Every structure is written in structure tokens, then in C-alpha cells.
Amino acid sequence: MDLRQSLQRLEWHLWNQWREQARHSGHLDLTSSELQYLYTLLAWDDKGIRLTELAECMQVSKASASTMTRKLEQRGYLSRQPCVEDARAQLLIPSAKALSLKQKEPMIYQAALQHFEQALSAEELQQLACLLDKACRDLDLGEFYPPQLSQPPYKHN
């Protein structure tokens, strides 16, 4: 198996784990776009984000961001609060339902790590971590950055 095939297999494995977690936690109704919006919102969960800022982060029009946030709000994934800095604006805040996704994320990566811990020696696992760190350091993510978790996504045993 070449590197491309290995990366594709890993991507499919992680996606499958996500879908399984979503199915068990009642979030299977989310599309990939909706998840991307939620991840952006989760990155700002401590202070909220204005619609204009969300549109800029997502590199979409304000109208498109407005449509998506309305859908997510109707489905209970976000709420709106008045913005203290600008009375005309509202802050988009992830709901408890959205925050539950953030709590599930470490489990996904922990499962993958456990597989690697069984398949690789401790030295190989350390080499993999170093090589992935080096390879991923300068990946172009556009303007979208995954939310920073309050805890590491996995722990080493």
C-alpha cells in the first residue's frame, strides 16, 4: 500500500468513526458543510462570533452564512446573544448540543491512537508522531482552522 492509499484509508477510518459517534449521539443529521460551520463556531465557543466574522472565516457570503446559521439554530446547535461591543450585532454561540460534539472528538482520535499503539512499537509510534508533526506543520488549511480543544485529543498511555 502506498502513502496515498494509506492516507485515504486513514481518512475513511476517521470519517467512519465520526459517523458512528454521530449515529450514537444523535448528530447523524449533520452534513459536512454544517459540521464545518459548527467547528468554526466551536473555535469561538468561549466568546461567540458575529455573523460577519463567521462568513469571513468560512470564506462565504454573509447571506450564505446567515442561511446556514438559521438552519443550525432551528436544529438546536447554536443560540444568539446580544453583542456588548455592537448593539446592532448578535453573537453566535454554540449550544450544549453543539458542545457535545466537541466532547466526542477526543474519543475518535483516541480510538485511532489505540489502533496505532497495537500496530506499532513504541519507537515506531514516536517516529510516526514526529513525522506527522513535520508533514502537517505547514499544511494549507485556508482560512479555516479546526477548533483548539481545551484538552489534547488523545493521551499517550
Burial class (CB in 10 A: 0-12, 13-18, 19+), 41: buried
Query: How is residue 141 annotated by DSSP?
Result: -
Is pLDDT of 151 > 50? no
Query: What are the tens digits of pLDDT across the range 31-67?
Result: 778 878 888 888 877 788 999 999 988 889 999 999 9
Q: How confident is the model at residue 150 (pLDDT cuts 50, 70, 90)?
A: very low
Q: How confident is the model at residue 141 (pLDDT cuts 50, 70, 90)?
A: low
Amino acid at 119: A
Is 0.85 surpassed by the pTM of this model?
Answer: no
Is pLDDT of 108 > 70? yes
97 vs 16, residue with greater confidence: 97
Listed in order, strand segments (DSSP E) in the chain are 49-50, 78-82, 90-94
Distance CA 9, CA 3 (A): 10
Matching residue, cell 481545551: 150
- What residue segments make up the domains of the chain, in order of their start? 3-136
The domain 3-136 having CATH identifier 1.10.10.10: the answer here is yes
pLDDT at 154: 40
